[in-house]
Amino acid sequence: MLDIKFLRENPDVVKQNIKNKFQDAKLPMVDEVIELDQKNREIKGEVQALRANKNKISKQIGAFMAQGKKEEAEEIKAQIATEGSRIDELSKEEKEVEERIKTIMMSIPNIIDPSVPIGKDDSENVEIQKYGEPFVPEFEVPYHTEIMEKFDGIDLDAAGKVAGNGFYYLMGDVARLHSAVISYARDFMIDRGFTYCVPPFMIRSNVVTGVMSFAEMDAMMYKIEGEDLYLIGTSEHSMIGKFIDTMLEEKQLPQTLTSYSPCFRKEKGAHGIEERGVYRIHQFEKQEMIVVCKPEESKSWYDKLWQNTVDLFRTLDIPVRTLECCSGDLADLKVKSCDVEAWSPRQKKYFEVGSCSNLGDAQARRLGIRVKDENGDKYFAHTLNNTVVAPPRMLIAFLENNLNEDGSVNIPTALQPYMGGMKKIEVKKA
């Protein structure tokens, strides 16, 4: 959410930013906020004047009564009552105006970083760099569920009966591999100085609206019926929410946390063949990283965060690339974002396995995450988040890139301790 003072002083900048995000329908919101803000300040001014006058003339009542001037005293009382009614009326209007301003301000997108490429959607995202050499083996790479089935590693039919489409049972060595990747990612981030955390898997509505836009919430979140609780779509939500309504000392920054959680998402819409199996699902697990830092440090932390993911995937022999998200592909709260994509030998292309975002002070402003420096001055923190690893989607890249012609899958050295020393997963059935 933008600072209303910034919008008031830079309406053209805000409007151009809306155009850059191809959200022209929101342009009238800027003028409406400016009008409402002016009205709100006028209301506050009138209320302040009325209260000052009320305090002033109320002192006259005692004097009139002491002088026996009851009529004059009653006139003053009547005036005070009238002005009191007007104050109540204005206070109600003030509250309504401020609620309307807040609603609009939460719909106006954050100012994107000047380095963000301008584009309408993800088809116009820009490749930054590749890491590792993508390759295609001479043998045919099966669809990922076929690879898993040869290890007796997945049961989609039973999951469909139990929970419906978008769910799965992982079994045996594949389930173990899934847990090994999560554990490895946890230790990888701890070794890089992050504090490990297991957060709440449900959050209240004020946290939901603090960390994401209304459109994202509707598309992603599952609500718990009859309670003010939502299942998290990613642990970033509850991790940033941990700092709601806090005043951090500047010396406490940066806060660097890495978290494990299950994640739950609606995943609305139709999906193609390549997004079936365990690619686009309603439930998965993830290792996440978040940072709460000083504004001047958020750009450098952004580069550190996505680099962590790249480094982790490379230790597992998976070629990856980074992709700069264009303006139209950025969620409203984001200042800058990039995707990490893994190479798929089967599809002969890259696909998304993680996303890194700098949200500036947008989440902190919504959630009230402030910092006090050594001089006592206060400001809003900057927040960032990034996926460390999110199996089972990541398992698709892992299985395809470590697959042998006989159907077995190699376990990279870094992961072997988490697989009980196993160097290879062998086929269980032809």
Structure confidence by residue, pLDDT tens digits, 250-306 = 999 999 999 999 999 987 654 555 557 787 889 999 999 999 999 999 999 999 999
Q: What angle do CA 104, 28, 337 make, to 5 degrees?
A: 60
CA–CA distances in Å: residue 140 to residues 137, 400, 404 = 7, 10, 10
Query: Rounded to an integer, what distance in angstroms lies between the CA atom of residue 235 and that of residue 360?
Result: 19
Give Cβ neighbours of residue 5 (< 8 Å, ≥ 6 apart).
none
- pLDDT, residue 163, reads 92
Helix (H) or strand (E) holding 305: helix 298-315
- Give domain 122-425's CATH superfamily: Bira Bifunctional Protein; Domain 2 (3.30.930.10)
Domain with CATH 3.30.930.10 in the chain: 122-425
Query: Rounded to an integer, what distance in angstroms lies between the CA atom of residue 394 and that of residue 397?
Result: 5
Note the pTM of the prediction, 2 decimals: 0.89
DSSP-assigned letter for residue 65 = H
DSSP-assigned letter for residue 131 = E
Query: Rounded to an integer, what distance in angstroms lies between the CA atom of residue 293 and that of residue 299?
Result: 10
Query: Rounded to an integer, what distance in angstroms lies between the CA atom of residue 311 and that of residue 308?
Result: 5
Give the SS3 label for residue 109.
coil
- pLDDT, residue 78, reads 83
Where the chain has pLDDT below 50, the residues are: 270
Domain with CATH 1.10.287.40 in the chain: 4-105
Token couple for 262: 């299950």
Q: Do the strands 195-197 and 255-264 form a parallel or antiparallel pair, or are they unpaired?
A: parallel
- The CATH fold assigned to 4-105 is Helix Hairpins (1.10.287)
- pLDDT, residue 280, reads 81
* Burial (CB count <10 Å: 0-12, 13-18, 19+), residue 238: buried
Give yes or no for a cis peptide into 262 (omega within 30° of 0).
no
